[in-house]
Structure 1
Amino acid sequence: MNVLVVDDEPIIRLGLRTLVDWEANGFTYAGDAEDGLEACELLERLDIDIVITDLIMPRMDGLAFIRKIKDRAKPISTVVLSCMDDFTYVKEAMKLGAKDYILKPTMEPESLLEILTSVRLELEQHRRELSDRQERQQALESSKLMQLSSRLHQFVQTGQGGEPALEAALFGTSSLVSLLLHTGSSAADADWRWTGCLAALPLAAGSVLLLVPAAAEVPDDADSVVQAAAAALERAAIVRLPQAPDWFIGAGVVLRRLAQVKPAAAQHARQLQERFYSASWNRIVQPVPESTIRHNPALPYDIRSDLLRCIAHDNSEGYVHQAEALCRRLKEQRPEKDKVVSFIQELLALAAGYARERGHAEIERYEETFVYSQALQACSRFEQVRELLLQAMSRLMENRSPLASEPRLRSHNTFIRKVLTYMMDNYASPISTSDMADHVRLSRSYLSDLYSKETGESLSETLTRIRMEEAKRRLRTGEMKIYEVADAVGFPDAKTFAKTFKRIVGCSPKEFEKPI
């Protein structure tokens, strides 16, 4: 334990420092001061457990210093130094809480250590009892918080349980302020006592509504009460949430009745949605008018289908184009975060399936990174979701099979190889399946069955794929107009070509020419 000596006589301070082997006996001589004023300054800098102090000193005497020690939060034990003629002061010091006294003229090492050891044992016991009381009080407060929170959750979810007892428990002594706290981590079982709230209501993953007692009743200026509560929570969160960089607080409203909690929760839900799409990084989010929120916005399943079609038909240029278009639509419509995360998660899983069919490499690693991980759930901003989606599309592009865009010439069947060669040589002409059958001297039905069993696709599908690959090659160069490309790959008109290109590739020829 750390000991501080306070005496205006240097010889006494030196004598105490050298009188005993402090460390060997479980003590540390932490420092000394010549009066109570200097000792108070040292208490601010040093972690002191026991003070040995003279009583009669200049500037601040021992009695005044002991009164100062009593006001400190941490218990500190006091032993007084006295002479034979100041026993009246000793009695006063004992009334103030001093544990023992040492006579300067008869001070011996053994008696000093005996007194210090006794004081240490008593101080340790006192601190244990204090710690136990604090733990019991905290457990009681935590239990009360959990009970009120559970009853509040039931009331908001079902409309039941809002009996007068709950109203009185929450609003019996003062008005409350609703505050949103988003930490980004699970809020269901968190201990929210540090926020000073009476009850906590989980809103979404990593977000909770807190009901905090209003610091003051200002009926005509409720906004200042809310802002003061938000600022106080912000100061506490800076200390409490160093590992949650994306935390923020939503300023709410002053509540005076239980029935006002549900509308407050709806307002905080709007703040969560606004923050998800916003570029702002302010720690405190102000209320969001209901008129700014779109209700039940549609998810862009059409664009998602186009993106998956790009993967299915190996249109690598279309991956990013469609992903960007999808993100633009989501940001315009602003669906709820949970719906967006589920929508993108499903897209990433479907993309893996299509890429696997196309022979892409390292699909398992892709799935570990983007499908099975919690990366999406950890996103607190829409921009983070967008970046993750674009990273996933880039990974698929990097892992494309080198054979993915080549015609399937790997069949050992002579008729199959011959008809494939015929299609590749004549795709610019309006050839039909009958023309193909005549070329290999088989019936059309027999050739069609044989081909589909060997390749897994129909003759028409292969011809269309060959034409689309050639169309993409020509469009990439930028040297031909769209109607010229249509004619060059065997389509009778640009309209039919564009419709087929959109269906197969996932975007229009014009969009393909200028990918985003």
Structure 2
Amino acid sequence: MKVLITDDEIQIRKGLRMKLDWEKEGFQVVAEAANGKDALNILNENEIDIVITDVRMPIMDGIEFVKQCQLKYPHVKMIVLSGYSDFDYAKSALQAGVRDYLLKPVAPDELLDALSRIRGEIEEEKKTQMESERINRLVHNQFEEIREQYLLYLVKEDWSELNITKDRLQQLGLEDFSNDHVKVQFVTVEIRDTEKNEKELWLPFKMLCKEIAEGAKGTYSFYDTNYANMVHFIRHLDEEPLTASSSFIQDLQRKVKQFLKLETVIGIGKVAVGLSQFKNGYISALLSWSQSELGSHSQVIDGSATNEMFDFSMELEKRLMNTIENVDHKTFETNLSVILGETTNQSMMKYSFVANRVLFLLGSLTRKYDIDSVEINNLIWNCQQSIWELNSQNKVNEQLVDLAGLIIENVIKIRASSNGAEIVENVRRFLEQHYGSEISLSLLAEHFHINSAYLSEIFKSQVGQTFSDYLINLRMENARQFLKDPQLKIIDVAHLVGFSNSGYFSTVFKKYFDQTPVEYRKSLNHVK
């Protein structure tokens, strides 16, 4: 604990130094001052925990000094010394901010007792502050995690309501990506190490990538658990597209090598224009990466430099998905044959691109209906490996057809369940991910290809709440979590949980918790 002694008499200051073995007791007298003005200058240049000050001093007395100190350095703890005649005056004039008043001459045990009490207060405050910062970091990390998960959702899952998607992007602070003509580029980075330390270094690698993204304008990182040892970047393009020689790519490779001693393989995807092309852009980065050489040496594969164009429209994706959800395996197989068949006369790279888009589509359906069994996951994994091999078209076609068949079988079982429990569980899982979007019962019914009246009935039967009550409750519980993050404004929290109007959000919040969002946030600070 660092201490400043302030008194106009040098003998008093020396006497205070001699009263204690400061170092032994855990204190350090770092400076002395003859008046309040000098003391303020010292506080401006040094980290001080405790100030011991006299009341009567020239230039700036102790009363004025304490008041100035409380305004400029509220964290500093004050001990005021005074003679008998000034003691009551000092106590009445300096009620706030002063931790102790000692009568001159000060006895050593009194001084040590006062210092020890203050040290206890400071240590407790620091402990509370550290815990508060830890909680704030956790809550803010939760927000960052939601944003990363949504970026992955955009490139892997089935989304067709463009307006809802744009709203969610704005809620998550990703409004740059909601523009119809936005240009983005994806970058895939894999770490490789001759000593096979990738697992131990995965978390530091992920954190480093996040720091690199935060330092690059319009750039965000996310990860896909289906691809080990990889982090993916999405970059909003205001300038020229990324290439192997771009400073972002060079810095990324250099920093991973410098800080983690790891080699990196980087795949640069093609420029994607508009949200509907995000999946194409993501897969093109993966395809670039898939062309890397084996071995633990750094590489950059720039797929954006090739002239071949990849395309897979949202309309085609929807048509294929409808064949699965309408349990029409034969039509799916026919459509797949047209898309991937030999008559299309497409290159191996384009074939791999289209096959990946179909595999992503089927994977999103397994998650939508929660049917990612061991058998299905193994089939997805084996199909992915076959695609990367670039010489197994027939095998890939068969695996995709088999996977579609398994999904259809499970969808039939789910819909045939007597009480609708599995359907409701799928809906609840969807709501937990999309509660911040504009969701209606009719939209959910359409999304899961069932009758809205039937969905309403089985939802209330299984959950014990109506759909709307459940959604509001889900939004309110998440709002409480977001309000713990001081970096988020009330309007930000309202948007994050699906309210366009902060006033209405406050009304609903108070109805649920008997406090407004502002009052709830203040109560959190009071507890700290």
The TM-score, its normalising length taken from structure 1, stands at 0.39
User: For the pair shown, which has the larger CA radius of gyration, 1 or 2?
Assistant: 1
Which of structures 1 and 2 has the larger relative contact order (alpha carbons within 8 angstroms, sep 6+)? Answer: 2
The TM-score, its normalising length taken from structure 2, stands at 0.38
